Amino acid sequence: MSTRDDWRERLRGSGYRLTPQRELILASVERLGHATPDEVLRDVRRHSEAVNASTVYRTLEVLEELGLIRHAHLSDRAPTYHSVTDHEHFHLVCRNCREVFSVDPDVLSELQETLEADHRFAIDVGHLTIFGRCEKCR
């Protein structure tokens, strides 16, 4: 079963209908990489004017609930969504130029092990965002 079929089955198996709007919204998140709901809406409207903002927000929530997308807070504004078909990663955000860097979670392995051993706590790496200054802005 392909990834495309798998997400369709997960949607139906959870009691949701497969709609053209849901397909457009998931395809948009995959195409854009990291996108806010407003960016997804703009992208989707290039393909269908019939999609409104509330449909985008509700669908993003459903897709995240099903584990098909994730969100992170890359600013103090709206969450940014990305596909889970991309590699697992966390984000570094420059407070000055706003550039976003995707980082492999392996760099956190020692921290993850320490938190697990000392606190019995497993961190959600894909939701993690670290703010600071990039090399250009320091």
DSSP-derived 3-state class of residue 110:
helix
pTM of structure: 0.75
Spacing of C-alpha 66 from chain mean position: 12
Which of 44, 66, 83 marks a domain boundary? 83
Kindly report the average pLDDT of the chain as a whole number. 87
Q: Are residues 56 and 25 in the same domain?
A: yes
Round to the nearest angstrom and report the end-to-end CA distance of the chain.
48
Q: Name beta bridge partners: 130.
A: 92
Q: Are residues 104 and 73 in the same domain?
A: no
Q: Are residues 106 and 58 in the same domain?
A: no
Residue-range definition of the domain harbouring residue 118: 90-132
Q: Give a yes or no: residue 137 inside a domain.
A: no
pLDDT in tens, 18-69: 888 888 999 999 999 889 999 999 999 998 888 899 999 999 999 999 888 8
CATH number of the structural domain spanning residue 25: 1.10.10.10
Q: Are residues 65 and 118 in the same domain?
A: no
Q: Are residues 25 and 76 in the same domain?
A: yes
Which distant-in-sequence residues (6+ apart) come within 8 Å of 10 by Cβ? 66, 67, 68
Q: Give a yes or no: residue 19 inside a domain.
A: yes
**Mean per-residue pLDDT for 103-129?**
91
Q: Are residues 76 and 95 in the same domain?
A: no
Q: Are residues 9 and 57 in the same domain?
A: yes
Number of structural domains (the chain) is: 2
Spacing of C-alpha 1 from chain mean position: 23
Q: Are residues 56 and 40 in the same domain?
A: yes
Q: Give a yes or no: residue 138 inside a domain.
A: no
Helix (H) or strand (E) holding 92: strand 90-94
Per-residue pLDDT band at 1 (split at 50, 70, 90): very low
Q: Are residues 97 and 76 in the same domain?
A: no
Cα–Cα dist 67/12, whole Å: 14
Q: H/E/C letters for each residue in 16-62?
A: CCCCHHHHHHHHHHHHHCCECHHHHHHHHHCCCCCCCHHHHHHHHHH
DSSP state of 87: P
Q: Are residues 98 and 36 in the same domain?
A: no
